[in-house]
Amino acid sequence: MDYLPIFLDLRGRKGLVVGGGDTAARKATLMLNAGAWVTAVSPDPLSDAFKDLIGTDRLIHTQAAFRPEHLDGIDVVFAASGDNVLDQAVHDAARARHVPVNVVDRPSQCSFIMPSIIDRSPVMVAVSSGGEAPVLSRLLRARLETLIPAAYGRLAALAGRFKQEVRSRFTSTESRRKFWEKAFLSPISEMVFSGREQEAEASLKAMLEADSGAPGTGEVYLVGAGPGNPDLLTFRALRLMQQADVVVYDRLVSPPILDMCRRDADRLYVGKERDNHAVPQDEINMVLVRLAKEGKRVLRLKGGDPFIFGRGGEEIETLREHGVPFQVVPAVTAAAGVASYAGIPLTHRDHAQALILVTGHLKDGTMDLDWDMLCRPRQTIVIYMGLKGLVTLCDEMKKHGMPGTTPAAIVQQGTTLNQKTVTGTLDTLPALAAQAELKPPTLIIVGSVVSLHAKLNWFHPDVAADDHWHTPLDKPASLGI
């Protein structure tokens, strides 16, 4: 983070703008809107852009050349003269006096920079690119403008009128937050947006009176996070990620996805690696039960789809046994995501009419798979967790009648910027994979569809992401049960 976003209370405070042109007028207007007293310093008469402001008793024109004394008692200053030498002098004088200063369009001479603003007062959204790409933040602002109904401010004002009452009814921050989330997600918001404010007020009052504030049973959201690229999350996953109180996640959930969870949610890492079950599955199951029984909304976030090699079934069986309510949110499973991004259609009329998903997880050093079934023609086999057993896998398939020339691929960290695809045949893939020094997670695809990769490969990122999956910073949680 290059800048700390803060909101400044300027009501009744003093702002200075150096310059009398259009840019200065815009900065003066902003400060006036925020309730400040504003002095504009310029030796010349103020430009026409100030016309609307003249007559505001909070605007004073000091018709003089800037002197450092003009900064006496000033809380914030904009240098907007357009004269580089003068603006630099304003900057230096302000810095010497520790007055926050912004030299318009010169981020290097600013102790604070101005964001693009979406004003739904009292709701304010500020967007900044840290001075790197102001046009980009303006475009983003335009998008947000269309997303945030104009009546958002009225909704916030309604909440403001009930703030004290809610505070006295619910003593803990947690219970207040839950009440407000329930209220904002209820039809009350829509009432305000459609201009039925009295009805909204009556409903909010009724909701407040009906709510005892006692914590109910929580709920577990078993949510698939997809194969790693945050763009592939479902809307439902995102919505639940943003309202959960605690997030229980494991190794396959990438940090960019975790970042999209509610900021103040507690996080519990229960990561698992092959051959190293950091937290035993039944302990994870019981943690979910305990957290939900404390009244929390628990997000159990899993890589890919929770019901495909995700042990999601076991987790919700335990929840059901303990009477804990849950929902399951499906997601793009690794086979689907990785194959799409590697340009390998899993079925194709000329190649494969069936698709088999298997796990190559080694059990007692051997692979416990139905080889005859896997080695039938005209089908595609996708092997999850198969890297360690790749040699065995290729050998067994050949032993069971699959030609050594059958195309096969292994894909590292599919769908992310670190995606790497190695293609070969059952004969060549193990050596090629070893040479490529692949990082987990990897997925193996076997079948003639793999030959289409050469033609259909479309995803060519040329920047790398952090190698987040290989070296998770998180230490497995101590679960305290």
Q: What residues are annotated to the active site?
A: 250, 272
Stretch that binds ligand SAH, among 106-114, 365-373, 436-444, 458-466 (CB under 6 A): 436-444
Is residue 443 involved in binding ligand SAH (CB under 6 A)?
A: yes
Is residue 79 involved in binding ligand SAH (CB under 6 A)?
A: no
- Residue with smaller CB distance to ligand SAH, 221 or 384: 384
- Residue with smaller CB distance to ligand SAH, 139 or 434: 434
Site track 310-329 with ligand SAH (rule: CB under 6 A), x = hit: x-------------------
What's the gap between Cα 137 and its chain centre? 17
Is residue 304 involved in binding ligand SAH (CB under 6 A)?
A: yes
Instruction: State in Å, rounded, how far the first CA of the chain is from the last one.
Output: 37
Q: Which residue is nearest to ligand SAH (CB)?
A: 304
- The nearest distance, CB 254 to ligand SAH, in angstroms, is 8
- The nearest distance, CB 227 to ligand SAH, in angstroms, is 4
- The nearest distance, CB 331 to ligand SAH, in angstroms, is 7
Is residue 271 involved in binding ligand SAH (CB under 6 A)?
A: no
Q: Interaction with ligand SAH in 205-244: which residues (CB under 6 A)?
A: 227-228
The phi and psi torsions of 357 (rounded to 5 degrees) equal: -105, 125
- The nearest distance, CB 222 to ligand SAH, in angstroms, is 11
- Residue with smaller CB distance to ligand SAH, 430 or 441: 441
Around Cβ 195, how many Cβ atoms within 10 Å? 11
Long-range contacts of range 278-283, CB-CB < 8 Å, 24 or more positions apart?
278/476, 279/476, 279/477, 279/479, 281/311, 281/314, 281/315, 282/318, 283/479, 283/481
SS3 386: coil
Give the integer Cα–Cα distance in Å for 333 and 101: 51
- In the numeric block, the tokens 């407000």 are attached to 180
- Residue with smaller CB distance to ligand SAH, 318 or 442: 442
The phi and psi torsions of 379 (rounded to 5 degrees) equal: -145, 160
Give the integer Cα–Cα distance in Å for 246 and 265: 5
What's the gap between Cα 44 and its chain centre? 49
Nearest to 6 by CA among 115, 86, 107, 82: 115
Is residue 442 involved in binding ligand SAH (CB under 6 A)?
A: yes
Interface with ligand SAH (CB under 6 A): 227-228, 252, 302-305, 308-310, 333-334, 338, 384-385, 411, 413-415, 441-443
